[in-house]
């Protein structure tokens, strides 16, 4: 290997193949495996919150039902649909890169980011409603005379409802933080796509970014029914 | 080492277009979302939570298998990572629930 001091083969057919990998396939598989291991740690990260949620929901089911009912489920449902559409545009972006369609790739990346911004906008509206209603845990929290669903005349305990809202804000807030990081990631991918960095042979950053985006989508797929739809009938 | 052919694996992997699958998964996910929303409005007693979780898990599986390309993953290590992730998550939830369920109610 005459030029082992530099990372990229100058005379190799594909300059994207780094010198410590035997084949492109091995290089791609290593990146993908690393990303899946990172996602495993993310599952455990959110898992602790889901576990806390599960325990308190079993303990204070009625209060959680009343608190959940005060959130706008239509906004949450719309957000679920928005995220699902953004996941579709992500796979279409990767497909565009695989079939060397640079224009389509850029359009799909922009669409993904637009859907991401719409999601965060709707989330902001939801948070604003909660602030207006004094449903944010803290000194100004109030949740008095809210009926427990299915038990007319019985009112939810504000202390227990506050636990629900604490979990709601931490879980959706952490999810929103992941969305913001995802938007940053996709800005970088868009820059790369604009520069023409991604080819059918090399588009690993798109696949890795896509895995992250889909993971954040999956977290929301669970958050939506668990937080918004506890006791709606 | 420099004899690597670049067109070898990128085109031969999937000969037919994956687009119909992508759109079918997208439509199923949207239908799943509508189903969760309306199923929550029905009174199914304790089964409301079960129905919501079954729909959510089906949707998550669709995303993992088709959008995250786990179905076509040739790397077995990848499947091992995913299965152990689920396994460890279940340990976290099951053991915590075992503790919760066996405490004396005060």
The radius of gyration computed from the CA coordinates of chain B, to the nearest angstrom, equals 20
Q: Are A164 and A67 in contact (CB under 8 A)?
A: yes
The pLDDT, as a whole number, for residue B9 is 45
**Chain A residues with beta carbon closer than 8 angstroms to that of B48:** 231, 233
pLDDT band at B106 (very low <50, low <70, confident <90, very high): low
Q: List, as one string, the DSSP characters of chain A.
A: -TTTTSSB-SSSS-TTSBTT-SSHHHHHHHHHHHHHHHHHHHHHHHHHHHHHHHHHHHHTHHHHHHHHHTS-HHHHHHHHHHHHHHHHHHHHHHHHHHTT-HHHHHHHHHHHHHHHHHHHHHHHHHHHHHHHTT-SSSTT----SPEETTEEEEE--HHHHHHHHHHHHHHHHHHHHHHHHHHHHHHHHHHHHHTT---SS--HHHHHHHHHHHHHHHHHHHHIIIII-SS--
Separation of alpha carbons A145 and A161, rounded Å: 12
What are the pLDDT digits (tens) for B63-92?
999 999 998 887 788 999 999 999 999 999
Evaluate if residue B4 carries a pLDDT over 70: no
Residues written for chain A:
233
CA dihedral (A164, A143, A177, A90) positive or negative? positive
Distance CA B48, CA B61 (A): 20
Listed in sequence order, the residues at least 6 apart from B39 whose beta carbon sits closer than 8 Å to its beta carbon are B48, B51, B52, B55
Q: What is the pLDDT of residues B20-57, one digit of tens each?
A: 999 999 999 999 999 999 999 888 888 889 999 999 99
Contact A73 B81 (CB under 8 A): no
ipTM: 0.88
A chain contacts of residue B52, beta-carbon cutoff 8 Å: 225-226, 229
**For chain B, what are the domain ranges?**
1-72, 74-106
Read off φ and ψ for residue B43, nearest 5 degrees.
-90, 100
Nearest to A44 among B40, B64, B89 (CB): B89
Which CATH code fits A27-228? 1.20.120.80
**Among the listed residues B39, B21, B36, B19, the one whose alpha carbon sits nearest the alpha carbon of residue A81:** B36
CA distance A93 to B101: 47
pLDDT for position B11: 44
Residue-wise pLDDT tens for chain A (233 aa)?
A: 454 445 554 455 666 788 888 888 888 889 999 999 999 999 999 999 999 999 999 999 999 999 999 999 999 999 999 999 999 999 999 999 999 999 999 999 999 999 999 999 999 999 999 999 999 999 999 998 888 888 888 899 999 999 999 999 999 999 999 999 999 999 999 999 999 999 998 899 999 999 999 999 999 999 999 999 988 87
Q: Which of residues 158-177 of A touch B (CB under 8 A)?
A: none
User: Shortest CB distance from B82 goes to which of A25, A36, A50?
Assistant: A36
Domain definitions of chain A by residue range? 27-228
């Amino acid at each position: 290997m005459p030029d082992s001091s530099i990372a990229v083969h100058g005379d190799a057919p594909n300059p994207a193949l780094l010198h410590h990998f035997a084949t492109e396939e091995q290089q791609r598989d290593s990146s993908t495996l690393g990303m899946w291991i990172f996602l495993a740690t993310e599952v455990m990260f959110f898992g602790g919150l889901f576990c806390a949620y599960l325990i308190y929901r079993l303990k204070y089911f009625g209060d959680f039902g009343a608190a959940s009912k005060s959130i706008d489920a239509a906004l949450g449902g719309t957000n679920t649909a928005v995220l699902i559409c953004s996941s579709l545009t992500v796979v279409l972006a990767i497909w565009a890169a695989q079939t060397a369609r640079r224009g389509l790739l850029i359009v799909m990346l922009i669409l993904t980011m637009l859907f991401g911004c719409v999601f965060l906008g709707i989330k902001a509206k939801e948070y604003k409603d909660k602030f207006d209603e004094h449903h944010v845990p803290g000194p100004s929290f109030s949740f008095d005379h809210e009926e427990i669903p299915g038990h007319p005349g019985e009112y939810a305990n504000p202390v227990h409802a506050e636990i629900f809202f604490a979990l709601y804000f931490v879980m959706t807030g952490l999810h929103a933080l992941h969305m913001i990081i995802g938007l940053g990631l996709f800005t970088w991918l868009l820059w790369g796509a604009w520069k023409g960095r991604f080819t059918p042979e090399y588009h690993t950053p798109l696949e890795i970014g896509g895995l992250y985006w889909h993971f954040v989508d999956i977290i929301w797929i669970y958050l939506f029914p668990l937080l918004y739809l506890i006791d709606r009938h | 080492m420099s004899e690597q052919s670049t067109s070898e694996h990128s085109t031969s992997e999937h000969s037919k277009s994956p687009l119909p699958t992508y759109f079918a998964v997208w439509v199923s996910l949207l239908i799943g979302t509508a189903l969760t929303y309306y199923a929550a409005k029905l009174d199914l007693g304790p089964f409301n939570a079960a129905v919501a979780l079954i729909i959510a898990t089906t949707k998550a599986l669709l995303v993992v298998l088709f959008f995250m390309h786990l179905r076509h993953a040739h790397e077995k290590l990848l499947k091992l990572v995913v299965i152990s992730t689920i396994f460890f998550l279940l340990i976290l939830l099951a053991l915590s629930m075992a503790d919760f369920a066996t405490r004396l109610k005060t």
